[in-house]
């Protein structure tokens, strides 16, 4: 009985030590892309899902621990827009100039249209290193 109690105590001590190390070293070193949102600005201070016909679209997100050579790509697509097929590609952009050993910070894409946007439903499909990551829907009213 004493051996099993001792084993449980030893396990708990290791668990607490592991969690403490994780907290003090900033957690995981794995690459992550979080908080993808549409916004009126490149910092993501003014989030929205609805734009006017003259607005610039900004897609912002928090990229963490991205190694050199990482590629983040966005496909801007018409979901339900007059004159476009469903899910038709409008424009494609990529950020691939990560040269630091590990980049962490806000990234953004922007898209403007001098002629004005057609009202309807749009989305931004985001790819991380060639793999589909997430769709971010928005509309123009």
20-76: pLDDT as tens digits? 443 444 557 899 999 999 999 999 999 999 999 999 999 999 999 999 999 999 999
Domain boundaries of the chain, sorted by first residue = 1-28, 31-140
Q: In angstroms, rounded to a whole number, what is the distance separating the alpha carbons of residues 104 and 86?
A: 35
Q: In angstroms, rounded to a whole number, what is the distance separating the alpha carbons of residues 35 and 67?
A: 19
Per-residue pLDDT at 29: 87
Q: Flag the least confident range among 15-19, 46-50, 100-104.
A: 15-19
Per-residue pLDDT at 40: 98
Residue 8 pLDDT greater than 80, yes or no: no
φ, ψ of residue 113 in degrees (nearest 5): -145, 110
Portion of the chain with pLDDT greater than 90, in percent: 78
Q: In angstroms, rounded to a whole number, what is the distance separating the alpha carbons of residues 30 and 133?
A: 15
Residue 110 pLDDT greater than 60, yes or no: yes
Q: In angstroms, rounded to a whole number, what is the distance separating the alpha carbons of residues 3 and 9?
A: 10
Per-residue pLDDT at 27: 55
**CATH class, range 31-140:** mainly beta
Proportion of the chain in helix, strand, coil states, percent, rounded to 5: 15, 50, 35
Residue 11 pLDDT greater than 80, yes or no: no
How far is Cα of residue 82 from the mean position of the Cα atoms in its chain? Answer: 28
Kindly report the pTM of this predicted structure.
0.78
Q: How confident is the model at residue 12 (pLDDT cuts 50, 70, 90)?
A: very low
């Amino acid at each position: 009985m004493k051996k099993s109690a001792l084993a449980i105590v030893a396990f708990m001590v290791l668990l607490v030590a592991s969690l403490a190390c994780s907290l003090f070293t900033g957690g995981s070193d794995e690459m992550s892309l979080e908080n993808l949102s549409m916004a009126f600005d490149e910092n993501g201070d003014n989030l929205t899902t609805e734009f006017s016909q003259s607005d610039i679209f900004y897609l912002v997100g928090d990229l963490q621990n991205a190694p050199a050579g990482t590629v983040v790509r966005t496909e801007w697509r018409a979901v339900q827009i007059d004159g476009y097929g469903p899910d038709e590609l409008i424009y494609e952009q990529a950020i691939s100039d990560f040269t630091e050993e590990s980049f962490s910070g806000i990234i953004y894409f922007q898209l403007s249209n001098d002629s004005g946007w057609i009202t309807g439903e749009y989305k931004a499909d985001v790819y991380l290193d060639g793999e589909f990551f997430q769709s971010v829907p928005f509309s123009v009213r």
